[in-house]
């Protein structure tokens, strides 16, 4: 069986979505770390905080600052009857949250690029903010493809 990439690409019309069509040489040589990615799950949180869109916006803003990141934009949405989804767009990447107040649960994703940011500190801040009793944290480093290693971008 031939392994394929999804053809539901943001650029319609892309054909032949096969893995062998991806230039392997682009990704064979990975250099240093491009950033850190943390997957945080919060359990037994304060239900009212998980359903408060303004509180979530404030918490994401604070977590961005604690991580040493630059907040560019914020988008949140409150669902009926409950739950909030939020995205803090950072110059260094993003922090996202999805809440289920009825289960007292929040799923959080913190990805920051660069050596100066501290996504683990953002996770610790969010754990405290939502008064979680327990949590699960998975953290890993993303590596830099050689082809973008020397690129520089300004926010």
> Does the annotation count 98 as an active-site position?
yes
Strand partners, 87: 75, 96
Which of 113, 125, 136, 152 is flagged as catalytic?
Answer: 113
Cα 149 from chain centroid (whole Å):
21
Give dist(CA 155, CA 89) in Å, integer.
Answer: 11
Strand partners, 107: 41, 98
Which of 38, 45, 64, 93 is flagged as catalytic?
Answer: 93
Q: Are 67 and 121 in contact (CB under 8 A)?
A: yes
C-alpha dihedral, 13 to 15 to 21 to 27, nearest 10°:
30
DSSP state of 53: H
Among residues 96, 91, 90, which one has the least CA distance to residue 76? 96
> Does the annotation count 113 as an active-site position?
yes
Which of 98, 123, 136, 147 is flagged as catalytic?
Answer: 98
Question: Which residues are catalytically annotated?
Answer: 93, 98, 113
């Amino acid at each position: 069986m031939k392994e394929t990439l999804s053809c539901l690409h943001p650029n319609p019309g892309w054909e032949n979505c096969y893995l062998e069509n991806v230039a392997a040489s682009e990704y064979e040589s990975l250099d240093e770390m491009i950033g850190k990615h943390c997957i945080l799950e919060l359990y037994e949180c304060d239900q009212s905080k998980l359903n408060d869109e303004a509180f979530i916006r404030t918490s994401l803003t604070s977590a961005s600052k604690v991580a040493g990141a630059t907040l560019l934009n914020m988008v949140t949405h409150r669902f009926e009857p409950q739950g909030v989804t939020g995205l803090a767009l950072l110059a260094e990447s993003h922090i996202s949250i999805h809440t289920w107040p009825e289960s007292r649960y929040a799923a959080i994703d913190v990805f920051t690029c660069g050596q100066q940011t501290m996504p683990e500190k953002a996770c610790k801040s969010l754990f405290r903010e939502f008064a979680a009793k327990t949590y699960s944290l998975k953290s890993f480093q993303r590596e830099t493809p050689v082809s973008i290693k020397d690129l520089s971008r300004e926010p």
